[in-house]
């Protein structure tokens, strides 16, 4: 990788912090959702998680010894604004202030994600992302965080994976807030993007030198067979998963065929004049989270009546292809999908900003700090694919963040899946670096002059 390439590791607040009722933090939709019976596979929550709210010094030590240039973490909105807007909770900001200081002291560049799915419950009670007010509150929250951390933080990520916050949370119902809506979920997706645009504007106003991006989870949707029906299914999946987000953000346009896909489900009346200018304002970088390709097969819709359909009900089934290796979670391992994602972006969007891979990683189910040979091959394979994409296409690839520094709370799947370079023993909080951590440390230790 070129000089100046940023090597990092990533986490998210609700997945690692714990301390959900400490120092004035308000409730988030994940505190509520995890109490719903059956919502989380093992019945757990982020109540304690990795206890990083108390053990953050250990995390910073691990990052420093790893030798990374950067750490991507998220700020919990309900720690900063317990009701989502209004009164600022200084104690919540103090936590991130200390963390940022410690990172800067060690020469580790903070990449701050402002929203990694933990919406204040009070805002959900007022309509959540279905309503435009939430987008306005998000922009105000961004300004508050920038006001406190912006003298040391330059790199900001507004949203993590608005696809997941909207479509998995409000349409599929597998994530908080656990709704299965049509129009409401599409409105949520749109308002997330409006919130992104508002936050970009607020951050630029607050900090002249800010570098601002958004992180999208992108998966090439490839037809399971050559049939016309499967090809059409892959196209529908691409619209819902990728282009609903990339077209407005990178192309200042709504995707062709989107209104037809959701005819009868939603009239898209939440779109307003001026939204695309706001959403599509120039960015300093795009964050790409890549995990897998989707092999899409045509499938019957769950509901015949579009008025009763969830926005997830688009008549597509994800299938596993014979001969494609999978992770312990059943996710296909296809580094070439990252190549396709990056080159595809460059092809479709002539003004593509610099790109960071802000997440890429592999989970194992075994609770064993000594087992992770697959992780090294996974990372090496995806790095090679990303480098090939940057060589073959106009992709200005600036960095790679492994997901995750630590084993952590994997949302609806609880604590079973372990993505960490570092094993966490949850009962004691003990952190043990895995072989892949040592492998990466050795690779990074050979470099010179890459620190900021």
Q: Which range of residues in 122-130, 160-168, 248-256, 301-309 is near ligand GBH by CB under 6 A?
A: 160-168
Instruction: Kindly tell me which of 339 and 403 has the beta carbon lying closer to ligand GBH.
Output: 403
Instruction: Kindly tell me which of 138 and 270 has the beta carbon lying closer to ligand GBH.
Output: 138
Out of 49, 99, 135, 168, point to the residue binding ligand GBH (CB under 6 A): 168
Instruction: Kindly tell me which of 56 and 419 has the beta carbon lying closer to ligand GBH.
Output: 419
C-alpha of 244 from chain center:
16
Instruction: Kindly tell me which of 299 and 329 has the beta carbon lying closer to ligand GBH.
Output: 329
Using an 8 Å Cβ cutoff, are 81 and 120 in contact?
yes
Catalytic residue among 124, 359, 374, 410: 359
Crossing angle of the two packed helices 336-348 and 244-251, in degrees rounded to 10: 40
Rounded CA gap, 167 and 179, in Å?
9
Out of 329, 376, 380, 444, point to the residue binding ligand GBH (CB under 6 A): 329
Q: How far is the CB of 161 from ligand GBH (least distance, A)?
A: 5
Q: Give the DSSP H or E segment for 155.
A: strand 155-160
Instruction: Tell me how many residues contact ligand GBH (CB under 6 A).
Output: 14
Q: Give the DSSP H or E segment for 236.
A: helix 228-238
Q: Output the DSSP codes for 163-208.
A: HIIIIIIIII-SSTT----SHHHHHHHHHHHHHHHHHHHHHHHH-T
12 binds ligand GBH (CB under 6 A): yes
Q: How far is the CB of 277 from ligand GBH (least distance, A)?
A: 28
The Cβ of residue 50 has, within 10 Å, a number of other Cβ atoms equal to 28
Rounded CA gap, 123 and 129, in Å?
8
401 binds ligand GBH (CB under 6 A): no
Could you tell me which of 222, 160, 219, 144 has the C-alpha nearest to residue 192? Answer: 160
119 binds ligand GBH (CB under 6 A): no
289 binds ligand GBH (CB under 6 A): yes
Out of 34, 113, 160, 327, point to the residue binding ligand GBH (CB under 6 A): 160
Active site residue 374: no
DSSP label of 421: S
48 binds ligand GBH (CB under 6 A): no
Q: Residue 288 to residues 20, 173, 261: CA-CA distances in angstroms? A: 29, 23, 25
Q: How far is the CB of 41 from ligand GBH (least distance, A)?
A: 10
Catalytically annotated residues: 359
Catalog residues that contact ligand GBH under the rule CB under 6 A. Answer: 12, 15, 160-161, 164, 168, 217, 289, 291, 329, 359, 403, 410, 419
């Amino acid at each position: 990788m070129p000089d100046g390439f940023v090597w990092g590791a990533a986490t998210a607040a609700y997945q690692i912090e714990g301390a959900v009722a400490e120092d004035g933090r308000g409730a988030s939709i994940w505190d509520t959702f995890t109490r719903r019976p059956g919502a989380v596979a093992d019945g757990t929550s982020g109540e304690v998680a990795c206890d990083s709210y108390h053990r953050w010094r250990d995390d910073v030590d691990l990052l420093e010894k790893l030798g990374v240039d950067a750490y991507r973490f998220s700020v919990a909105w309900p720690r900063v604004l317990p009701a989502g807007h209004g009164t600022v909770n200084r104690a919540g900001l103090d936590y991130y202030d200390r963390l940022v200081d410690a990172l800067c002291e060690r020469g580790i560049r903070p990449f701050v994600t402002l929203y990694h799915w933990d919406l204040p419950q009070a805002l959900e009670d007022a309509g959540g992302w279905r309503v435009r007010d939430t987008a306005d509150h998000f922009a105000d929250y961004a300004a508050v965080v920038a006001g406190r951390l912006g003298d040391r933080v330059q790199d900001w990520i507004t949203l993590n994976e608005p696809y997941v916050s909207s479509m998995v949370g409000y349409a599929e119902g597998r994530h908080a807030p656990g709704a299965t809506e049509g129009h409401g979920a599409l409105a949520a997706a749109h308002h997330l993007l409006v919130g992104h645009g508002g936050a970009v504007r607020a951050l630029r106003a607050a900090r002249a030198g800010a570098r601002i991006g958004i992180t999208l989870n992108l998966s090439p949707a490839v037809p399971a067979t050559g049939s016309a029906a499967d090809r059409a299914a892959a196209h529908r999946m691409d619209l819902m998963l990728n282009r609903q987000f990339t077209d407005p953000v990178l192309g200042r346009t709504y995707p062709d065929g989107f209104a037809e896909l959701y005819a009868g489900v939603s009239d898209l009346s939440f779109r307003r004049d001026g939204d695309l200018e706001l959403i599509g304002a120039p960015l300093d970088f795009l964050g790409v989270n890549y995990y897998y390709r989707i092999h899409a097969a045509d499938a019957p819709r769950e509901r015949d009546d579009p008025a009763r359909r969830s926005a997830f009900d688009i008549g597509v089934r994800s299938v596993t292809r014979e001969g494609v290796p999978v992770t312990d979670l059943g996710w296909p391992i296809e580094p070439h999908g990252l190549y396709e994602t990056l080159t595809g972006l460059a092809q479709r969007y002539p003004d593509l900003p610099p790109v960071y891979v802000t997440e890429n990683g592999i989970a194992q189910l075994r609770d064993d700090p000594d087992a992770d040979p697959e992780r090294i091959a996974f990372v090496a394979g995806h790095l090679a694919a990303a480098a090939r994409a940057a060589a073959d296409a106009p992709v200005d690839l600036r960095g790679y963040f492994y997901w995750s520094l630590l084993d952590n709370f994997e949302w609806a799947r609880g604590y079973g899946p372990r993505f960490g370079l570092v094993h966490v023993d949850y009962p004691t909080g003990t952190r043990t670096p895995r072989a892949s951590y040592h492998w990466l440390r050795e690779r990074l230790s050979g470099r010179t002059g890459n620190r900021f």
